[in-house]
A = this chain, B = another copy of it.
Amino acid sequence: MQNSLISLRDVPHFDDTADVLVIGYGIAGVCAALEARRAGGDVLVVERASAGGGASALSSGLFYLGGGTAVQKACGFDDSPDDMYRFMIASMGSENADLVRRYCDENVSHFDWLESQGVPFERTCYEGKAVFLLGTEGLLSTGNEKLWPYREIARPAPRGHQATGEGESPGNVAMAALTTRCEDEGVRISCDSQVTALIADDTGKICGVRLRREGKTLHYEAGTGVVIASGGFAMNPDMVRENIPVLPDTAEPLGSPWNDGCGIRLGLSAGAATNAMEGVIATASIYPPGQLIKGIIVNKFGKRFVAEDSYHGRTAAFISEQPEQRAYLIVDEEIFAYPEIESARHQLVDGYENIEEMEAGLDIPAGALSRTLRQYNVAARKGEDPLFYKHPDWLKPLENGPYAAFDISFNRSFYLFMTLGGLEVDSDARVLDKKGRPIPGLCAAGACTAHIPKSGKSYASGMSLGPGSYFGRVAGMTLMSQ
């Protein structure tokens, strides 16, 4: 598997030519292709699998969108671009401020665009705590909007928009609609095609790709440029080990088999900068059921370290930083339930008559958990959490023994993960080199670029399909306007 940059001078002849070549036919690629086509381009998508869809089609079909979309309005939520921006910047950092501002300001029209392409969204909202939906509701809270301190910085609103499909996976519904539209509009697709190199002309502009298809090496020309949209690198064990040492062997990647970082390596070969390569969103949620959020999460020293009402990916990120990556969910009889996310495989360690027994059973230093629980209970009775400001809705003293403990350790339960790092891009989806300059003729979008949230601490479900779809469109427009 090669990922290199070759010179136009070394290309014997071009086997095909288009205005815009798109590498990857997932959410970012399909949206890039649609916009480049609408702008009048001859567009050729090169896809490694035998059909389009990628990791997006395997996903739960959640788009993080807001600012007052039609679904939010229909469900009675009064979101604004500014609230969305403030939440995103406060939780995810200001590194990409102009890119985030553009995303938030354009979100309502981007939602309308997705619907106009045939992606269906129900005007219904799921009010409970869920990681993904079993029903067809169109709206769900999927991030840390209600978490302190974010709830004090921006008015919370649910922003996870789920594509709707009867009896079908929502991600697949969205991708089927978009790929159908692409083909209806005359975008050409070359499947079973593995790009092995970018081609640069003498000025350094990216002007084509080399690929392997059916045992042959082919060269395709790109008149205006290339869009890399080939997903993350969760399926590349070497890249994961090198970049994300925090992940234990038990962690399992989410995505398509082709999410092996090939697009990132293509970008690197052209001199691209990467960002947040250590970033990972891992998940093994304690909820549903929501009542478990009323428990406390402690480390092996019996100390709390995260607000239990955090988004599951944030909780996981904090667990990953604890001594020996150990963590326990402690509940009392009143709220006892088994976590419902089966893939997490959180084990019930045991039930205990009192906290002293639990300390012994969990090998927590004697007195440490008792002290934590005593302080927690005193404050919880007043509806307060002076350490982490867990929302009063989830606060109750844990005083109805017997107690139980679930082992939710990062290296003992099974955490699923996606990678967050990738190529550095600007708000026009142009790939940047190590000096911050756009590489001519090269755009990128989706999970092969650095996500807006650079850590599981700030991820929200839908932050892959949402920005991936929007900046995919931007990439197509950028190349056609040059």
B303 lies within 8 A of A98 (CB): yes
CA distance A306 to B101 in the complex (A): 14
Q: Which residues of B contact A389 (CB under 8 A)?
A: 86
CA distance A392 to B90 in the complex (A): 19
Q: Which residues of B contact A95 (CB under 8 A)?
A: 305, 321
- Within 8 Å of chain B (Cβ to Cβ): is A388? yes
Also in contact, A436 and B97, with CB within 8 A (given A149-B86, A153-B152)? no
Total copies of the chain: 2
CA distance A30 to B86 in the complex (A): 44
Interface string of A64-97 (1 = CB under 8 A from B): 0000000000000000001001100110001101
Max chain B Cβ within 10 angstroms of own Cβ: one of A98, A300, A324: A98
CA distance A322 to B436 in the complex (A): 8
CA distance A323 to B437 in the complex (A): 9
Q: Which residues of B contact A321 (CB under 8 A)?
A: 95
B386 lies within 8 A of A101 (CB): yes
Partner of A324, one of B301, B304, B436: B436
- Within 8 Å of chain B (Cβ to Cβ): is A348? no
- Within 8 Å of chain B (Cβ to Cβ): is A387? yes
- Within 8 Å of chain B (Cβ to Cβ): is A435? yes
Interface residues of A in 279-307 (CB under 8 A from B): 299-301, 303-306
B436 lies within 8 A of A301 (CB): yes
Also in contact, A101 and B300, with CB within 8 A (given A306-B94, A323-B436, A436-B324)? no
Partner of A153, one of B85, B101, B149, B300: B149
B300 lies within 8 A of A436 (CB): yes
B152 lies within 8 A of A101 (CB): no
A324 lies within 8 A of B435 (CB): yes
Partner of A152, one of B98, B152, B306, B322: B152
Partner of A387, one of B97, B323, B386: B97
Chain B residue at minimal CB-CB distance from A153: B149
7 extra interchain contacts, Cβ-Cβ under 8 A, other than A94-B388, A153-B153, A323-B436?
A85-B386, A97-B304, A98-B387, A101-B386, A149-B149, A299-B436, A324-B435
